[in-house]
Amino acid sequence: MKKGKCTPYVFIAPHLILFIIFFGIPAIFGIVISFTQWNLIDTPHWVGLRNYAEILANSKSTFYTQFHNGLKNTLIFTVFSVPFCIIVPLLLAVALNAKPKGNKIFQSIFYLPTLFSISSVILAWGFLFNKNFGPINKILGKSINWGGIQPYVWIAIITITVWWYVGGNMVIYQAALAGVPADLYEASSLDGAGAVMQFLNITLPSIKNQIAYTLVMTTIAQLNIYGQPLMFSKGGPAGSTSVILMYIRQIAFGTGESIAGIASAMAVMLGLCIVFVASLQFYLLRDKD
């Protein structure tokens, strides 16, 4: 202790204790419950893999339909939203890194949405996308039901998500771009390289680690989507935006009898899906040098 070897553990301890209490123990408990039949009140009854068989193999079961529909909708949202959540903030960061006039003001404006709660974001955008008096329909000169017709519902939800999410990744990219040596750009300019060639051959390789990090973290966040479709479209139309977390909450804490075992099994499968996707991304993006 005199040598200070315990100092790092003292700093880590508060977070680690809270992490174990509020995440580690509940996660283990949830995995255990996924092998039981439980209504949140009575004593859990062990059923083994029956809950997993119900959601994965029993095509006649309502839970099978809900799980596969929810997972499909979650993947649709993730596939179409993640590229925009990476590319848009990257382009904004590159533009602001050029130090245009008022860049600090624009940086604040782009980052500000990340400070809002999802409820306030949906309320604001719900007004903008309103079918009858929304500014977006007035600008387009059309009467589009953004909350009730596909693919407009997904377009609206993805637009809202990108606007809400872009600031965090932008700041990460700005910090990464600040560390790229300016002499690389100067040397490439002398060799006749334009802005596009510099971006492809200097900027992207120099911040590839930060891009890999934001790609994985953004994908994980989008696979956990819940608030946007719940508040904007209530999972409609016809369940086309009902994501997996909406079904999990409905089954576990809905108005009817709770079926916590089935809900936990769905949550575990979602967790495994996230681990698989993140591991695959880390493998594909690993540094091969």
DSSP SS3 for 157: helix
Cα torsion 133, 139, 144, 148: sign = negative
Place of tokens 């519902």: 153
Q: What is the pLDDT of residue 54?
A: 95
Let me know: does 279 contact 109? Beta carbons within 8 Å: no
Q: What is the pLDDT of residue 195?
A: 84
Which H or E run includes 67?
Answer: helix 62-97
DSSP SS3 for 234: coil
Question: Helix-strand-coil percent breakdown of the chain, rounded to 5?
Answer: 70, 0, 30
Instruction: Give CA–CA dist 150/153, Å, rounded.
Output: 5
pLDDT digits (tens, 9 = 90+) for 162-191: 999 999 999 999 999 998 888 888 898 888
Which H or E run includes 36?
Answer: strand 36-37
Contact residues for 289 (Cβ-Cβ < 8 A; gap 6+): none
Q: Which residues pair with 37 in a beta bridge?
A: 45
Place of tokens 């407009």: 152
Q: Which residues pair with 218 in a beta bridge?
A: none
Task: Tell me 116's DSSP state.
Answer: S
Instruction: Give CA–CA dist 166/6, Å, rounded.
Output: 39
The answer to whether the peptide bond before residue 151 is cis (omega within 30 degrees of 0) is yes
Q: What is the pLDDT of residue 61?
A: 93
Instruction: Give CA–CA dist 279/289, Å, rounded.
Output: 19
> Parallel, antiparallel, or unpaired for β 36-37 and 45-46?
antiparallel
- Range 216-238 average pLDDT: 94
Instruction: Give CA–CA dist 161/209, Å, rounded.
Output: 24
Q: How confident is residue 288, by pLDDT bands cut at 50, 70 and 90?
A: low
pTM given for the model: 0.90
> Which of 245, 228, 239, 246 lies closest to 156, judged by CA?
228
Let me know: does 55 contact 65? Beta carbons within 8 Å: no
Q: What is the pLDDT of residue 2?
A: 65
Average pLDDT of the chain, as a whole number:
92
- Is pLDDT at 129 greater than 90 in this prediction? yes
Q: What is the pLDDT of residue 289?
A: 56
More confident residue, 281 or 266: 266
pLDDT > 70 in the chain, percent? 98
